[in-house]
Amino acid sequence: MAFTNVENRNFQSPVKFNFIIDRLKDFDFYVQSINLPDVSLPFLESGTAFTTLKLPGNKLRFTELTATFKVSEGMYNWYEIFSWMQALGFPENQKQFGDLRDGNLKDLNGKASNSLNKRPTREIGDLYAQASLIMNTSHNNPHLIINFVDLHPISLTSVTLDTKSSDAEYVTATTTFAYDYLL
């Protein structure tokens, strides 16, 4: 029996990570939890005279990416995701979609969102974002980066405000993203 030496015998800490989305300014500061999505490789069935064989499939499937974050005072980070979703769905008019594509979204105060202006526009416009989940070592040094390609929000939870709370429990929200693939 062969034994493989493991170079690093430390366990991955669940609190040593950063999650950066290129179009959401300062979002990584507020992220409380994130899931590394499930990956599956569905099998293909091939019948023979005696049994059904299960052969490896040819297409990986990824579940959605979910992040829970603390809502900033003024709800700017929640609103930034909301306005991105609103522009993708353009519920009021198609101009909202055009503004997203051209990088002209507004913040809560009606000013141009400066986080969008830093991104280079690709052929498909500014509809999607690129994201990175950075796993850090026990010494807080990055050791693994997982990139999510062409990410966009598909859900954003409600915000619950409650005057009955006796402790300072800050408001959190959860957003779910779809993406094409991860690297």
Q: Mean pLDDT of residues grouped by 10 in the chain (183 residues)? A: 67 91 91 94 90 89 96 92 87 72 65 48 68 93 94 95 84 96 89
3-state DSSP call for residue 143?
A: strand
Closest by CA to 67, choosing from 108, 116, 41, 29, is 29
Residues pairing with 20 in the sheet: 132
Treating both helix axes as pointing N-terminal to C-terminal, what angle do 76-89 and 94-102 enclose, rounded to 10 degrees? 120
- What integer pLDDT is reported at residue 119 of this predicted model? 44
How far apart CA 172 and CA 85 sit, in angstroms, is: 18
pLDDT of residue 105: 65
pLDDT of residue 118: 43
| C-alpha separations of 138 from 5, 20, 30, 177 in Å | 20, 20, 21, 28
Write down the pTM of the prediction: 0.80
List the Cα angle 127/29/24 in 5-degree steps.
Answer: 10
Task: Give the H/E segment covering residue 33.
Answer: strand 31-34
Is the Cβ–Cβ distance between 19 and 134 less than 8 Å? yes
Measured distance CA(23)–CA(117) in Å, rounded: 9
Give the number of residues written for the chain: 183
